[in-house]
Amino acid sequence: MVSSIRPPGEPGGEATAGTAAASSHTGYPAAPHHPGYAGPADAHAAPPDTAYPAAPDTTYPNPADTLHLTVRRAEYPPAPPAAPPAPHATAPRRPSSGRAVALLVLVAVAAVVPLFGPAAVLDGTGEAEAPGTPGITFLRTVLFAALCVQVGEVFVRRLARRVPGAPLASAPPRWGWWAATAGGVAALGLASVVASGNLVPHQLSDLDVGGLYQSRDGRLALLEVNAFVAAALCARSRRPDSAVLPLAAVIVAEALRAHPPTEEAALVGSGLTLVHLTCAALWAGGLLYALRTLRSWRKGAPEAGVAVLGLYARVAAVLFAAITASGIVSTLRRMPPDTVVDQLTETAYGRTLVAKVLLVGVVAVLALLARRRLKRSPRGGLTTYAPARAEVMVLGAVVAVSALLTAVPVPIRW
């Protein structure tokens, strides 16, 4: 309750009638009326002493007895680090036009050489074209290409295991199964030609399947078919590198087929063909898979890809030397030195051989260019990709011409 009475000693601390009357206007309660007091005689008379009631004692609580509220800050686990800003979305990368061009060139070569090659090399030689030469050339092109692809994969994967820290789990996918399947189909087609008496079969009744087991060429053809089937099964197994055994059987069968027993020193010729074909398959197929490995590891492990390409380049130099030596010796066996010049220009075999030698020369130049770039920038292996890819394309043409070389008539020793 608020009172208008002020303690004595302060100005205006005395209560007067005026103040009491004013209280009615100010809203404050009037001073209490004490009995026996009639008021002052006049306005200036001092009022008697007035006894005011004592103010009630106000008791404040003891601070010690008060309730203390403790507010604790909640402890939360630390916030995870802020994620880096998302990179700007980029359009998906389009396939390289170079790969598309290389594929088109290889397909064109595989079609053009068998179709037009026999007629071109036989023109003006006086030699008769064997029945089905274009088809046989195409089938042998597919067979040789399939052999190169699968042998090259096994070869380069073994080289990659020698590179420390090579991400073998992210190696390019294998094409071995597809290659073995294509090779098996081509070998089956060639076996059907043998079963029909080295003629193109036009109907099933033309095939003498039982006769395949009675002739040397028939047994070798069946061996190649079965070997490609086994290679395809190995490619699907847990140990795809085991396909090297049936692929070796294909190479042996081709070496024996190329040199019949009636030929002089047939085993020597078969041995030369065995070395030549093995090194050629490792060279061509190995380069293809080495470039695929380099491209696959260009972001995650570029140094490992360059190391694999470097290992391949060292072995390729030895392979090229073996191919050159075995090819020269085989040529001299078929063409005596005093007749080589004439037969190179006047026989289909010689013309085809000249075309193959020219293509191999182009391959050698491209290989030297790629090797030079690799030495200049050992960590920038992608600079060698362009000449090496061109080398693969020319090697595809070499494979097709080599298939044509097996289909044209063998030169006669004069």
pLDDT tens readout for residues 2-31: 444 444 444 444 444 444 444 444 444 555
- Residue 281: pLDDT over 60: yes
Separation between Cα atoms, residue 286 and residue 123, nearest integer Å: 36
What six digits make up the tokens of 391?
Answer: 């080398």
Its pTM surpasses 0.75: no
Three-state DSSP at 45 gives coil
Which pLDDT belongs to residue 279?
Answer: 96
Asked if pLDDT for residue 39 goes beyond 70, the answer is: no
Q: How much is the average pLDDT of 225-241?
A: 94
How much is the average pLDDT of 135-158? 94
| Residue 384: count of CB within 10 angstroms of its CB | 25
Report the share of the chain in percent with pLDDT over 90. 38
Report pLDDT for 91.
41
Burial class (CB in 10 A: 0-12, 13-18, 19+), 207: middle
Residue 344, CA distances (Å) to 118, 332, 349 in order: 15, 12, 7
Residue 244: closest CA among 373, 146, 150: 150
* pLDDT tens profile 317-368: 999 999 999 999 998 888 877 888 888 888 999 999 999 999 999 999 988 8
Residues constituting the chain: 414
Rounded Cα–Cα distance for residues 10 and 93 (Å): 96
Output phi, psi for 371, to 5 deg: -65, -35
Looking at residue 89, what is its pLDDT? 39
Could you tell me the CA-to-CA distances from 350 to 110, 139, 272, 328, 356 in Å, in that order? 21, 22, 18, 13, 10
Quote the mean pLDDT of the chain. Answer: 79
pLDDT tens profile 257-272 = 999 888 888 999 999 9
pLDDT of residue 77: 57
Contact 409, 298 (CB under 8 A): no
**pLDDT score at 325:** 95
Q: Domain segments of the chain: what residues?
A: 118-407
What lies within 8 Å, CB to CB, of 341 at 6+ separation is: none
pLDDT computed for residue 55 by the predictor: 53
